[in-house]
């Protein structure tokens, strides 16, 4: 069956930085369907050749040494451009006619990719519906929606309602690029293809779980967006809660999109949203000191650039095990990692001192940038009596596999074309996630807990470390070692 991708917002940043380079890489690897067409749609008045020339320059920039002019010459003929205005309903019948002409009489899988600003999602969906472009008589029709998927529970429900007026749920792909990362997918393999972890993956052996997404960079040129969004909307509602569900979920009966998403939804349902009085004790919010000096940031902004949140999954497996979620800008380094912190031995027979006793085994899953897995365990230091040291068994993707780690969009675009929704969020999943985050946002907007400042290059505000220590725990503040 033919493949057609229609990109709304074709002259924008996402298209040139991520979508077209990912499609080019799939072509270079021989994974792009031979009968694919990609149609760009936006207001910029490109011709086909002008858009191809523009994308050749930008793709060369973003793929670097992997750019092959011969491959590009094979790829470029599948790129087409049709100018139009997403707010103009008359543009859509013209687009439909142009796309049908390219498709010919063959049944075609058609993907609509909303690479636009979020304020245009609803109007684009409505216009697709009015033009009859969601009907599946001539082949499957799918729509990809980028984050942010709403700004709270009410707006997420509104967007879901609009989508469901035009598309059925199986046609909707809510994309989170974190789930396209190889290490995130490997988390499922680690848990469910290896029998050694299942017996200890529960409250009987695990003390707590840390999920950290730290960014060394500041807000930079994204000040206008970030000041209205903040760290909870930017990172927690989507990325971190997705990682939590994959860490905590039960094994699905089979590797199937609905089965996997059913198990993820069960985890979110098991997290009781916080009451207002609980937020001050169960969260930390911070802001790096020079945030208010960033372009397009309000001079007296109280937007959080750092957050730490403690959640509990109230089910049989995880009862009483805290999940600590943490993310921030202007931190010490770039790292996304999941730390499974195991409990201490029930009885320590070795006189090793208080520091060693507190260091129990841990499993560290590095999502990025040093993708890999480390198991930390105690060993005896040679020729030092019974002195112990925490050491590790380490696996890194780049050392074991010669190929470069693919960009997440390569996997996700292929999945959309194949109709595999395993790594995409379902409507109930999105709304449950907002139901967890909304009470925290409301308490923060009321001033609880107080906003703590921190210097750029630190692991967040000092109160975050004190907060963990008060619970008898410590953050795993270790930057990944790049190969």
The CB-side HSE value for 282 (13 A sphere, CA atoms) comes to 22
Contact in structure between 210 and 475 (CB atoms under 8 Å): yes
Which candidate, 3, 56, 67, 7, places its Cα nearest to that of 34? Answer: 3
What is the arrangement of strands in the sheet containing 79-81, beginning at the earlier edge strand?
79-81, 36-41, 2-8, 108-114, 141-145, 172-174
Strands 335-342 and 206-214: antiparallel
- List alpha helices for 214-349, DSSP H: 223-231, 241-248, 257-269, 276-282
Nearest-angstrom CA–CA distance, 343 and 207: 5
Element (H, E) at 463: helix 462-470
- Catalytic, 239? Answer yes
Cα torsion 166, 168, 171, 174: sign: positive
CA distances from 40 to 19, 83, 95, 122, 178 (A): 11, 8, 10, 19, 25
Specify the DSSP class assigned to residue 120: G
User: CB within 8 A of 76, min separation 6: which ones?
Assistant: 52, 55, 56
Residue 276: phi, psi to the nearest 5? -55, -40
Interhelix angle 153-166/121-130, nearest 10 degrees: 20
Count of beta carbons in the 10 Å neighbourhood of residue 81: 24
Count of beta carbons in the 10 Å neighbourhood of residue 419: 14
> Given 127, 177, 208, 239, which residue is catalytic?
239
Quote the Cα angle for 182-183-184, to 5°.
95
Q: What percent of the chain is helix, strand and coil (3-state, nearest 5)? A: 45, 20, 35
Element (H, E) at 188: helix 182-192
Give the catalytic positions in this structure.
239
């Amino acid at each position: 069956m033919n493949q057609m991708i229609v990109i709304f917002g074709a002259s924008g940043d996402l298209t040139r930085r991520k979508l077209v380079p990912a499609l080019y890489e799939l072509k270079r690897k021989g994974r792009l369907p031979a009968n694919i067409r990609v149609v760009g749609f936006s207001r910029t008045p490109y011709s086909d050749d002008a858009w191809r020339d523009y994308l050749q320059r930008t793709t060369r920039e973003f793929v670097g040494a992997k750019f092959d002019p011969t491959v590009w010459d094979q790829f470029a003929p599948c790129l087409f451009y049709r100018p139009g205005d997403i707010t103009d309903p008359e543009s859509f019948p013209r687009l439909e006619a142009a796309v049908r002409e390219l498709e010919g009489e063959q049944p075609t899988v058609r993907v609509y990719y909303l690479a636009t600003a979020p304020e245009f999602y609803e109007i684009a969906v409505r216009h697709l519906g009015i033009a009859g472009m969601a009907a599946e008589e001539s082949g499957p029709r799918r729509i990809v929606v980028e984050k942010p998927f709403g700004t709270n529970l009410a707006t997420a429900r509104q967007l879901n309602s609009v989508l469901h007026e035009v598309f059925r749920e199986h046609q909707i792909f809510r994309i989170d690029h974190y789930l396209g990362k190889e290490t995130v997918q490997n988390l499922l393999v680690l848990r469910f293809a290896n029998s050694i972890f299942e017996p200890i993956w529960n409250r009987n052996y695990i003390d707590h779980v840390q999920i950290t997404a730290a960014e060394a960079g500041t807000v930079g040129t994204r000040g206008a967006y970030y000041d209205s969004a903040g760290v909870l909307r930017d990172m927690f509602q989507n990325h971190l809660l997705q990682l939590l569900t994959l860490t905590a979920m039960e094994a699905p009966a089979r590797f199937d999109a609905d089965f996997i998403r059913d198990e993820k939804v069960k985890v979110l349902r098991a997290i009781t949203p916080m009451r207002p009085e609980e937020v001050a004790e169960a969260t930390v919010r911070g802001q790096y000191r020079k945030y208010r000096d960033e372009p397009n940031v309000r001079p007296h902004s109280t937007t959080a650039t750092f957050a730490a949140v403690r959640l509990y999954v109230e089910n049989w497996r995880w009862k009483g095990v805290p999940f600590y979620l943490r993310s921030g800008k202007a931190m010490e380094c770039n790292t996304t990692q999941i730390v499974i912190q195991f409990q201490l031995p029930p009885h320590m027979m070795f006189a090793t001192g208080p520091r060693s006793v507190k260091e129990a085994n841990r499993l560290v899953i590095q999502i990025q940038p040093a993708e890999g897995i480390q198991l930390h365990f105690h060993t005896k230091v040679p020729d030092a009596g019974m002195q112990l040291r925490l050491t590790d068994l380490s696996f890194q993707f780049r050392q074991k596999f010669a190929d470069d780690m693919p960009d997440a969009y390569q996997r996700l675009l292929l999945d959309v074309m194949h109709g595999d929704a395993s790594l995409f969020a379902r409507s109930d999943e999105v709304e449950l996630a907002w139901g967890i985050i909304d009470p925290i946002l409301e308490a923060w907007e009321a001033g609880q807990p107080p906003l703590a400042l921190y210097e750029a290059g630190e692991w967040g505000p000092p109160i975050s470390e004190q907060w963990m220590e008060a619970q008898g725990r410590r953050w795993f503040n270790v930057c990944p070692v790049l190969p």
